[in-house]
């Protein structure tokens, strides 16, 4: 079943129609179903099916029953209100239902996809609907929650767990990719390609670079943990694709992975993944500057120890030396101004 566009506008009538078809064994032709687009279309069909009951008293009973079905089996929209707070939350929540589904199997999504078993991919596909706006995301989530066969209390608990998961992840990594330029298609595409190479699964194809960025963040927030063996296998596979020179440049990163083997229980996996990704970005920028033969920056005269430290920061961040100095000066000035403010 595909995701219905503008679902929230028709969800009550769709619930009534589903109940009429399944509980009353009413017959609805395929042609009639294809004509259902707007809220008015659903209302007209439901009204016609109810009015087809020959006994007027039975019609009143049927109307009351359908009202009870809607009230008892559909959550009120207030439970979904927090999803409207931002595009990031709405997109994250779409990924959450695909990779952290409710206990029963839904017709919208499968049991999700672990990193080690990408054969279990979510059933929702890009061709089902153009999911572009925040409302589209929320509509998809509402349809999923309405479709799962659970009591309302369990559905509320599921949404609460989703919200708690988001709060924890957002407060741990409020801006996980702040070192990338989210307005640069090149930066966004690099991040996408890096995550795909490291077996991060994207169930939907983005329609533009803005949505690609949203999917990158959502995939990171819902990223399942991997064990050390899998990290090594990924690194080995990627290194086989690298040139000898590039392998030599990544030796320091290999040492960090070995350290991770010793301390992996004390390191948050997503933080480790993010550090690996940022180091790869810095190395990419470093190699590109060397290939293009960019002129060395004019740097103020510094002692050898300080200059060595600056070079180390440059390799870690991918920034130019003058940019690093400017940033450090700004940070120190900001620190001084705050200290001066609170001293009064």
DSSP string across 152-208: HHHHHHHHHHHHHHHHHHHHH-SSTTTTS-TT-HHHHHHHHHHHHHTT----S--SS
Among the listed ranges 24-38, 125-139, 182-196, 246-260, which one has the minimum average pLDDT value?
246-260
Task: Say yes or no: 57 and 171 in one domain.
Answer: no
Task: Say yes or no: 88 and 199 in one domain.
Answer: yes
How many of the other CB atoms lie within 10 Å of CB of 11? 21
DSSP 105-165: --SS--S--BTTBTTS--S--GGG----SHHHHHHHHHHHHHHS-S-HHHHHHHHHHHHHH
Q: For the chain, what percent of residues have pLDDT higher than 70?
A: 73
Q: For the chain, what percent of residues have pLDDT higher than 90?
A: 47
Domain interval for residue 63: 7-73
Task: Say yes or no: 97 and 181 in one domain.
Answer: yes
Say if residue 2's pLDDT is above 90: no
Tally of structural domains, the chain: 4
Task: Say yes or no: 84 and 189 in one domain.
Answer: yes
Say if residue 265's pLDDT is above 90: no
Task: Say yes or no: 123 and 185 in one domain.
Answer: yes
Kindly indicate the confidence band of residue 241, based on its pLDDT and cuts at 50, 70 and 90: low
**Nearest alpha carbon to residue 253 among 219, 281, 230, 223:** 281
Say if residue 251's pLDDT is above 50: no
Residue 336: per-residue pLDDT: 64
* Residue 47 included in any domain: yes
Where would I find the H helices in 185-303? 185-197, 209-221, 228-240, 244-249, 251-263, 269-292
Task: Say yes or no: 204 and 336 in one domain.
Answer: no
Residue 214: per-residue pLDDT: 96
* Residue 299 included in any domain: no
> Among 167, 195, 224, where does a domain finish?
224
* Residue 298 included in any domain: no
Kindly report the pTM of this predicted structure. Answer: 0.69
Task: Say yes or no: 129 and 149 in one domain.
Answer: yes
* Residue 220 included in any domain: yes
Task: Say yes or no: 196 and 256 in one domain.
Answer: no
Task: Say yes or no: 53 and 142 in one domain.
Answer: no
Residue 113: per-residue pLDDT: 34
How far apart (Å, rounded) are the C-alpha atoms in residues 344 and 336?
13
* Residue 211 included in any domain: yes
Residue 304: per-residue pLDDT: 75
Sole residue written with tokens 């801006």: 175
Task: Say yes or no: 209 and 270 in one domain.
Answer: no
> Among 224, 244, 277, where does a domain finish?
224
> Among 250, 266, 292, where does a domain finish?
292
Task: Say yes or no: 80 and 198 in one domain.
Answer: yes
Say if residue 254's pLDDT is above 90: no
Among the listed ranges 75-89, 134-148, 170-184, 213-227, which one has the minimum average pLDDT value?
213-227
* Residue 312 included in any domain: yes
* Residue 1 included in any domain: no
Task: Say yes or no: 235 and 214 in one domain.
Answer: no
* Residue 216 included in any domain: yes
Residue 106: per-residue pLDDT: 42
Encode pLDDT of 45-61 as tens digits: 999 999 999 888 999 99
């Amino acid at each position: 079943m595909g995701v219905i566009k503008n679902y929230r506008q028709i969800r009550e009538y769709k619930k009534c129609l589903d109940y009429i078809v399944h509980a009353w064994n009413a017959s609805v032709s395929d042609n009639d179903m294809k004509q259902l687009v707007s809220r008015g279309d659903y209302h007209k069909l439901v009204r016609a099916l109810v009015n087809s009951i020959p006994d007027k008293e039975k019609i009143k009973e049927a109307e009351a029953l359908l009202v009870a079905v809607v009230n008892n089996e559909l959550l009120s929209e207030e439970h979904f209100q927090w999803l409207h707070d931002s595009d990031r939350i709405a997109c994250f929540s779409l990924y959450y239902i695909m990779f952290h589904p409710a206990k029963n199997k839904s017709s919208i999504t499968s049991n999700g996809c672990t990193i080690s078993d990408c054969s279990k991919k979510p059933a929702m596909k890009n061709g089902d609907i153009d999911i572009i706006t925040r409302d589209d995301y929320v509509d998809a989530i509402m349809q999923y929650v309405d479709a799962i066969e659970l009591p309302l209390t369990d559905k509320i608990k599921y949404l609460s767990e989703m919200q708690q998961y988001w709060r924890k992840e957002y407060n741990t990594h409020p801006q996980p990719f702040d070192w990338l330029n989210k307005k640069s298609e090149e930066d966004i595409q690099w991040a996408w390609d890096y995550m795909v190479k490291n077996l991060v699964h994207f169930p939907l194809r983005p329609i533009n670079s803005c949505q690609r960025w949203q999917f990158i963040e959502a995939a990171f927030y819902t990223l399942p943990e991997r064990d050390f063996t899998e990290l090594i296998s990924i690194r080995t596979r990627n290194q086989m694709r690298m040139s000898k020179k590039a392998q030599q440049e990544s030796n320091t990163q290999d040492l960090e992975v070995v350290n991770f083997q010793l301390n992996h229980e004390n390191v948050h996996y997503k933080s480790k993944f993010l550090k690996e990704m940022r180091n790869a970005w810095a190395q990419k920028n470093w190699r590109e500057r060397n290939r293009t033969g960019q002129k060395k920056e004019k740097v103020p005269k510094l002692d050898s120890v300080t200059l060595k430290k600056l070079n180390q920061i440059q390799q870690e961040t991918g920034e130019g030396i003058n940019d690093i100095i400017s940033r450090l000066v700004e940070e120190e000035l900001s620190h001084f101004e705050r200290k001066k403010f609170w001293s009064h």
